[in-house]
């Protein structure tokens, strides 16, 4: 394998979904949250997922960063659970051009992709010194989803309902170097809070073309929680803020068109061990 090429070993298991009793969450009667499956993997399977759109930009003019984004669709009638997505930036010979210290940022995990649904995934990494010196070094990006588990479809009573977010128009802020923030509203149709694994941003220009993206790995568990009962504090319009990171927003981005995907999991992620291919949002 060429130096710098990202190697990801992922797993799939056949599972029987186990449900937790409603007594596990007495504040939400009737909730039976799905217990995440576990086991030893035998193979990887991404046949039910497809990338329907993607794009990237180099930021800033000196080409020190690559901002990438894609939209992934689950074409099946099952839930894709803990899908790992591997990003890379490649040269003409398919060699990786990512700065060595940023290679650990190249894999992220999307906790849940519902049947028929789409998610937007973003990442931003620095280029190697050699690639920075050559404006034409980048030939293409690579974005590869691999499913680690499949679950039967569910609903809001077991944690497998939609969690959605929408940009607040006019709220986006971009500094001259490409750093910035995005405000959004959010809703969860689940009966109990899920575990936050970060917020993904995908940037588009005025025509709707994807021009980049990034992942805010900050864990904001509020955005993965259900709406409170009417009259309670916090029961009204709910908003969050995503940090786009340093030098990740292309100058061409129309921030009102940003896709926001909230990464909400059924359980806390595994502890990082430092092995190659582990997701950055653990």
> Which residue in this structure is represented by tokens 């009102």?
256
Q: How far apart are CA 237 and CA 130, in angstroms?
A: 48
pLDDT of residue 213 exceeding 70, the answer is yes
Asked whether 280 and 104 are in contact (CB, 8 A), the reply is yes
Q: Average model confidence (pLDDT) for the chain?
A: 85
pLDDT in tens, 35-89: 777 643 445 678 899 999 999 999 975 568 999 999 999 999 999 999 999 999 9
Distance CA 278, CA 272 (A): 7
Nearest to 131 by CA among 178, 103, 92: 92
Q: For residue 225, is pLDDT > 50?
A: yes
Give the CA count within 13 Å in the CB-facing half-sphere of 221: 7
Among 153, 126, 155, which Cα is nearest to 138's?
Answer: 126
- Asked if the model's pLDDT at residue 167 lies above 90, the reply is yes
Higher pLDDT, 20 or 98: 98
Q: What is the pLDDT of residues 260-273, one digit of tens each?
A: 999 999 999 988 88
> Cβ–Cβ contacts within 10 Å for residue 153, how many?
13
Read off the pTM: 0.86
| Domain limits, the chain | 18-265
pLDDT band at 148 (very low <50, low <70, confident <90, very high): confident
């Amino acid at each position: 394998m060429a130096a710098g090429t990202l190697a990801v070993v992922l797993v799939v298991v056949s599972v029987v979904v186990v449900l937790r009793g409603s007594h596990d969450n007495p504040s939400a009667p009737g909730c039976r949250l799905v217990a995440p499956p576990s086991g030893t993997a035998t193979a990887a399977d991404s046949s039910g997922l497809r990338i329907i759109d993607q794009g990237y930009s180099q930021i800033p003019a000196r080409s020190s960063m690559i901002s990438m984004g894609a939209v992934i669709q689950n074409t099946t009638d099952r839930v894709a659970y803990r899908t790992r997505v591997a990003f890379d930036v490649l040269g003409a010979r398919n060699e990786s051009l990512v700065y060595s210290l940023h290679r650990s940022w190249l894999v992220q995990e999307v906790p849940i992709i519902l049947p028929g649904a789409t998610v937007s995934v973003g990442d931003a990494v620095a280029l190697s010194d050699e690639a920075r010196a050559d404006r034409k070094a980048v030939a293409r990006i690579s974005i590869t989803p691999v499913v680690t588990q499949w679950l039967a479809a569910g609903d809001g009573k077991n944690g497998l309902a939609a969690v959605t977010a929408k940009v607040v128009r006019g709220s986006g802020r971009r500094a001259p170097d490409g750093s910035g923030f995005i405000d959004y509203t959010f809703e969860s149709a689940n009966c109990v809070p899920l575990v936050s694994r970060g917020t993904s941003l995908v940037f588009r220009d005025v025509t709707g073309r994807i021009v980049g993206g990034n992942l805010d790995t900050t864990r904001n568990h509020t955005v993965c929680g259900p709406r409170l009962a009417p009259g309670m504090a916090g029961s009204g319009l709910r908003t969050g803020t995503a940090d786009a990171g340093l030098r990740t927003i292309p100058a061409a981005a129309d921030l009102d068109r940003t896709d926001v995907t909230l990464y909400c999991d059924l359980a806390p992620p595994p502890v990082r061990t430092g092995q190659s291919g582990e997701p950055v949002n653990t």
